[in-house]
Amino acid sequence: MTTTKLTLISHPLCPFVQRAAIVLLEKGVAFERIDVDLADKPDWFLALSPTGKVPLLKVKQADDRDAVLFESMVICEYLEETQGGGKLYSEDALSRARQRAWIEYGTATLAEAWQFLNAKDRGTADAKRAAFRGRLERLEEALEQGPYFAGSTFSMVDAVFAPLLRYFDLINPAVTQMMFQGFPSVTRWRDALALRESVVAAVGRDYGQRFKQHLAEHQALLAE
């Protein structure tokens, strides 16, 4: 295992940051975490981030210089290739390709979920609810015996879906029940991910409060 020092530059609510944090925790890697205010981005952050987004991963090199990686899946795959711990991708090329395909599906599913959660009017909420349930239907068909996406082993696909499924533990339980009704495999998967130590530790203790505050500030229908 590399002894390189790692620093994760993050935001407390960002689901893409959570992907990287989950992988770091699964790998058992020591790392520093620095949160930035994305509403008032500091100059040092803008100098490091080509996109102005999180996550970033600073990698301390042997010559003491920092290399900076951006884009969550680039970071996750770098960690998979350089760090020890359990493997999050299959050794089989075809299975690994399928995992990457479902990761892309997860990113698109996150977008649908986010638009539903932040909807300010009933028409948008209904349309995004239907779109998200359509995606859950495909996941229901794809899931195997569990408890994780491909069975008993936690994988990179689980690390990608855990942040978006976490949202539904924080909103009105009646809405969540309605959203996942008819999808028992997805529901079991969501429950298993919620208990995974790396998933729990990927966010701060005040994450739920921060998320609800975000919904209220954005006048979302789901804000309590």
Q: Which of 89, 116, 113 is nearest to 103 (CA)?
A: 89
Measure the CA–CA gap between 44 and 121, rounded to whole angstroms.
Answer: 38
Place of tokens 């977008």: 111
Token pair recorded at residue 43: 């100059």
Q: Which of 144, 155, 183 is nearest to 22 (CA)?
A: 155
What is the number of H-type helices and E-type strands within the chain?
A: 10, 4
Ramachandran class of 28: left when φ > 0, alpha when ψ lies in -120 to 50, beta otherwise: left
Bridge partners (DSSP) listed for residue 58: 7, 68
Which member of 14, 24, 159, 171 is catalytic? 14
For the question of residue 76 being annotated catalytic, the response is: no
Q: Could you tell me where the beta strands, DSSP code E, fall in 116-168?
A: none
Query: Among all residues, which ones are annotated catalytic?
Result: 14
